Amino acid sequence: MGQLHEYNIRIPLRMTQLTEKNGCVMSLSFDWKGHDGRVINVKIDSVISVIPCAEQKSGSVGDRYECEIEGRREYLFYSKLQPRKWFKLQQVSEEIYNDYYKLPGG
């Protein structure tokens, strides 16, 4: 039997956040481009947990935020390496995945 694969790519996010005096970051909302091309502002209902994580594909180091968004649990990621940025994983086809992660000259 063949193995099932999930193909995910990193989608950068424009995040609205609040930084407390002690340096803690509270994510409030982010902009997301829908399938129809329109950009919507998505409110984060709550942050359930924040854990340090690393992404093997890119070598990125940061935090994984487990959030409740519109009644669903979703993960958002914050890269601590320069350039620091927020991103979300989006499931795509194998073809899009391979094109996204294609090495230069390959």
Q: Tell me the pLDDT tens digit for each residue of 83-92.
A: 888 998 888 8
pTM: 0.76
User: How far is CA 57 from each of CA 1, 9, 61, 72, rounded to the nearest angstrom?
Assistant: 26, 10, 11, 26
Q: Where are the domains of the chain?
A: 7-100
Between these two residues, 101 and 77, which has the higher pLDDT value?
77
Q: What sign does the dihedral 72-61-89-29 (CA atoms) show?
A: positive
58 pLDDT higher than 80: no
Q: Is 92 exposed, middle or buried (0-12, 13-18, 19+ CB in 10 A)?
A: middle
